[in-house]
Amino acid sequence: MDKDTHQYDDITSMSRPISKNHKPMPLYDRAAQFAPFAALTGHDAAIKETA
């Protein structure tokens, strides 16, 4: 596997883009996007009930 490790050298030192139209999302809200969630409401209770 010969990958070019310098493929992105021209952009790695650049700062990230900052929107002029939107405020940054609070860290708490950003973290919530990646938090686990209950896809099926009541599924956990039903499993415990049958166990």
The enclosing H or E element of 28 equals helix 27-33
- pLDDT 10s digits, 1-47: 667 888 999 999 999 999 999 999 999 999 988 887 777 888 888 88
The dihedral sign for the CA sequence 6, 7, 9, 13: negative
CA distance 35 to 40: 15
Please report the pLDDT score of residue 33 as a whole number.
87
Please report the pLDDT score of residue 1 as a whole number.
60
